Amino acid sequence: MYQAAKHSSKLQKNGLDDDLSLVEGSTSASHRLSLYDQPPLYDITVEDFETSALDRLRILAEIESSAARNRSWEETKQVTITQCGKYLPLNSNSALGIDLQSERRKDQLGHFVLRLAFCRSEELRRRFVKAETTLFRVRYETDDSNERRAFLDSKDFNWISVGSEEKNKYQAQLTHFAPGKSDTERENAFKSEPFYKVKWTTIPDLVDKRKVFMKGGFAYVPAREQASIIYAAFEERLDAALLATSRAIPLVDEETRLNPILDNLAQGFTAGVPSDWHFPLCMRVLHQTLRRDRHIQHFGRLHYGLFLKVLGLKIDEAIIFWRKSFAGGKGSDKFDKEYRYNIRHSFGLEGGRRNYPAKNCLQLHTAHEAGCPYRQLENSPENLQSALLSTYSGQGLTLDDLPEIMTQVKKKAYHVACTRVFEITHSRHVKKGEGLGDGESVTHPNQYAARSIELEKDSQEPKMEVD
Amino acid sequence: MASSAELDRVDPTAEDVLLNYYRRLYPFKQLFKWLNRGPERTEKESRLFPYREFAFTLRNEAYLRYNSYPSDIEMKKHVCLLTPSRFEIGPVYSAQPKDKKTVRPTHFKAEKREVVFDIDMTDYDPIRTCCSDADICKRCWAFISIAVDVLDKAIRDQFGYNQLLWVYSGRRGIHLWISDKEAFELTDNQRKAMVEYLTVIKNGKEPGKRVNSRVGSRDLPPTLKDAIEAVREPFDDLILQDQDCFGSQEGFETLLSLIPDKKLVSRLREKWSQTPDSPSYTKWDEMKAEIKALKDKTARQTMRHAMEDIVLQYTYPRLDAEVSKHRNHLLKAPFCIHPKTGRICVPVDPRRIREFDPAKVPTVGQLLAELNASNSNNNGEHLEDWQKTSLKPYIEMFEQYANSVQEKPKMDLSW
Ligand SMILES: [Zn+2]
């Protein structure tokens, strides 16, 4: 038996109080929705530990993938509900004949295990918070309205209902933020709309655009905006909790039996479905080869490794990544001997200690191995076309797009071809001719990936609209 | 007393001048009290102070970061040893900054810091007509005084913060330090939100509309309605009268570039080209008359909004936003000496900002002369050196402020 309680008490000693001491009274989960402010404090098996996390990970990976595929909110919601039904059912209080407590325990446990796995780098934290917040939103929106009300009332969200006297005092200001398209509509809406106030620090993203009325450090919000407040609170608290956890966990602690599991989980997420979504074809090809053959040649490792490094993969993550990727192919002894040095070398930690930059397009054009696929497959157009289709058909590239790409390849304008692929696969954000935005074309694989990630970040959650 | 010509010859970056100033006048004790936020200094009970970063600019312009001290006593010793020409205050870190090299990077994070704002006269160069670049006079200081007025009110009223310290930057700008506990603990994300909420003017040199005040064709949000009310009068006095911003061809062209109604623009241009030097208030009135005469209600509404935006563009505080967004930003400490002017970065009372005259702020030369004079006619009363100089009211103001920042025993309100 593994004792989760012991684990958390160890964490507390390491200074995790900020995170875990927020625990409030009740232990059993009386609501379907949870802000996860209370870690599991009961005995669990290593098996439970792993299953709950893996099952949750499937759902989060699907959510990431939805975002990467630009699924609409309704589609994302449907897909997530289906996945949850399969791996992580979570029924409302009205459901009969179901062990609600065990469902909710699994939900809690999985969440907290993944916190441990994903607190380790800023990038992982960001992605975890985003996926978890989406999951929370799906559940919040689909929650039974009575139970949702009960959930809201049960927690101290630190929001205060604005009394009628105060409401009238600020009538002129509050009307500005009431729902409606015209002054008259807003004036009418003001009368029936209840207002709440929260500390402004809870909802910085509504404050910065002056979308709320501010007075004495409180932001006044119409009732229909309560949901965005809750999402913001969920996101912000999870963010803070992860940060606290990351500081509490020693980076390399080979002692604990959990580390291999946690490494594995984090790696599953890193090397999971959507991460290579942002890569240009050259790096997609290397990634696919590595996944398929569990091995790539020296130059492939070099180009792909440097690319990942610039993308933000840390040295310890890089070693884990490559070790996992080669697992099954090479033993870890051999791995350590042959590759550890190379990886450390490319991070500038061995040999001449140069921090090598990633290869740019020009360098990849002239590379004999693992170079620019547009250039290398120039003389076998069928192979290039099938590579393009199999790689990017999930991102909106169709047969009809191929001729113009191939025309550019024939003209040896490889970067134009690559830029066009970017436009097609990011058609939600860039129009034809805009390239990576502002007409910039591809000159570096990392520029391609960075821009793609940036676009995705910009188009996250739908923002509150006052108009 | 030394003559003012002699005072001007005192080099504010000379080692002996700086040493004398730091040794005898600089309010280290009050600085400690403010930054430590805790009870009076006792043997070991310095709370936050040791975690605070100080960065020094030495006389040869070398820049030393990550200095930290157990208390003001050690700090004073080191400052007197280095005699920097000025120094900056950074954040409170999770470990003592002097140990930065020996602690793990994950354990060395900027955690807390006063919220700071920086308003600099350079951002007003496109609109002020009396001076340019590094120059400043009582007349263009009025821009700063409007900014202080608007910002001080907005922050107190809307954000509910009360521990505001305004500090003259020694030449042509002003800094604001907000020390309220909540402000002190804001995350970078929250700081960014606060700055953006308060940022209406996009700074830059190119002409044209720089105001981001409203959503589409909506009315101004309440915070900017308040601001408009507060600047209506100063706009008349400063922009239309004193600076006469539209009293030249270039000036009225800038005004016209902010008017969205093309027909109205061409009518006004025709009229004003005849008398390009007519006073700004005349032009402003002529514009108002034209707007009044517009038949179309929507066109009138659009112009009413445009006028509000113009008033904001000429008077709303112009913030250097980057300074405020991150906890790890460094800002020059109060009471430093400006190396070019020799003036002390003294606190300013926002309620009396309109009376403030940068030219009357004491210089280090003047202070040291006052000190010498007081030594020769000692009347036996025991006073600290700074109390014998014209720095006295400023240090008293600072001390009062430091006292107000003392935190009460911790009460856990987390949820
Ligand atoms: Zn001037």
Closest CA in chain B for residue A22: B415
Q: Does B248 touch chain A (CB under 8 A)?
A: no
**For every one of its 467 residues, what pLDDT tens digit does chain A have, with 9 covering 90 and above?**
333 333 333 333 333 333 332 333 334 577 888 888 777 777 777 777 778 888 888 888 888 877 766 778 898 999 899 989 888 888 888 887 888 888 888 898 889 888 887 887 777 888 899 999 999 999 999 888 888 877 776 665 677 889 999 999 999 999 999 888 888 999 999 998 889 898 999 888 788 889 899 999 999 988 877 787 788 878 888 988 888 888 776 544 444 555 566 666 665 554 433 357 788 999 888 877 876 776 777 788 788 878 877 776 665 566 656 655 554 444 455 656 666 666 666 666 565 556 678 888 888 988 888 889 999 888 888 889 888 888 887 777 888 889 999 999 998 889 999 999 999 988 878 888 888 887 888 989 988 988 887 777 665 433 333 33
Cβ of A214 and B158 within 8 Å?
yes
pTM of the model: 0.66
Which residues of B belong to the active site? 53, 118, 120
Q: Domain coordinates of chain A in residue numbers?
A: 3-153+249-266, 160-226, 277-460
Cβ atoms of B25 and B66 closer than 8 Å: no
CATH assignment, A3-153+249-266: 1.20.930
Q: Does B226 touch chain A (CB under 8 A)?
A: no
pLDDT score, position A287: 79
Closest CA in chain A for residue B191: A204
Neighbours of B117 (CB within 10 A): 25
Best residue in B162, B181, B187 to probe A by mutation, most A CBs within 10 Å? B187
Cβ of B157 and A215 within 8 Å?
yes
Residues of A in contact with B219 (CB under 8 A): 176, 183
If DSSP states are collapsed to H, E and C, what string results for chain B?
Answer: CCCHHHHHCCCCCCHHHHHHHHHHCCCHHHHHHHHHCCCCCCCCCCCCHHHEEEEEECCCCCEEEEECCCCHHHHHHHHHHHCCCEEEEEEEECCCHHHCCCCCHHHCCEEECCEEEEEEHHHHCCCCCCCCCCCCCHHHHHHHHHHHHHHHHHHHHHHCCCCEEEEECCCCEEEEEECCHHHHCCCHHHHHHHHHHHCCECCCCCCCCCECCCCCCCCCCHHHHHHHHHHHHHHHHHHHHHCCCCCCHHHHHHHHHCCCCHHHHHHHHHHHHHCCCCCHHHHHHHHHHHHHCCCCHHHHHHHHHHHHHHHHHHHCCCCCHHHHHCCCCCEECCCCECCCCCEECCEECHHHHHHCCHHHCCEHHHHHHHHHHHHHCCCCCCCCHHHHCCCHHHHHHHHHHHHHCCCCCCCCCCC
Measure in Å the smallest separation between the Cα of B155 and chain A Cα atoms.
9
Q: Does B221 touch chain A (CB under 8 A)?
A: yes
Cβ of A217 and B197 within 8 Å?
no
CATH assignment, B4-119+161-196+319-404: 3.90.920.10
pLDDT score, position A396: 78
The two tokens of residue A134 are 């989406």
Q: Does B216 touch chain A (CB under 8 A)?
A: yes
pLDDT score, position A355: 67
Q: Does B186 touch chain A (CB under 8 A)?
A: yes
Distance A265 CA to ligand 1 centre (A): 63
pLDDT score, position A354: 62
Cβ of B160 and A208 within 8 Å?
no
Residues of B in contact with A173 (CB under 8 A): 222
Residues of B in contact with A199 (CB under 8 A): 182
Pairing of strands B52-57, B86-93: antiparallel
Cβ of A207 and B194 within 8 Å?
yes
pLDDT score, position A50: 75
How far is A355 from A306, CA to CA, in rounded Å?
Answer: 10
Of B158, B190, B197, the CB nearest to A215: B158
Q: Does B82 touch chain A (CB under 8 A)?
A: no
Cβ of B223 and A214 within 8 Å?
yes
Cβ of A207 and B197 within 8 Å?
yes
Residues of A in contact with B212 (CB under 8 A): none
Best residue in B194, B220, B325 to probe A by mutation, most A CBs within 10 Å? B194
Best residue in B151, B158, B181 to probe A by mutation, most A CBs within 10 Å? B158
More confident residue, B368 or A94: B368
Residues of B in contact with A249 (CB under 8 A): none
Closest CA in chain A for residue B222: A173
- Ligand 1 ion: Cβ-proximal residues, 5 Å cutoff: B 130-131, 137, 139-140
Q: How far is CA B224 from CA A204, B195, B210, B315, in A?
A: 18, 14, 15, 12
* Residues ≥6 apart with Cβ < 8 Å to A58: A83, A87
Cβ of B414 and A22 within 8 Å?
yes
Closest CA in chain B for residue A121: B106
Could you read off the pLDDT of A161-218 as tens digits, one per residue? Answer: 899 999 999 999 999 998 888 889 999 999 988 898 989 998 887 888 898 999 999 9
Size of interface A-B (CB pairs under 8 A): 65
Q: Is the pLDDT of residue B73 over 80?
A: yes
* Residues ≥6 apart with Cβ < 8 Å to B110: B90, B91, B92, B93, B326, B327, B328
Measure in Å the smallest separation between the Cα of B205 and chain A Cα atoms.
22
Cβ of A204 and B192 within 8 Å?
yes
Cβ of B218 and A467 within 8 Å?
yes
Could you read off the pLDDT of B13-72 as tens digits, one per residue? Answer: 999 999 999 999 999 999 999 999 976 555 455 689 999 999 999 999 999 999 999 999
Q: Does B158 touch chain A (CB under 8 A)?
A: yes
Q: Domain coordinates of chain B in residue numbers?
A: 4-119+161-196+319-404, 201-315
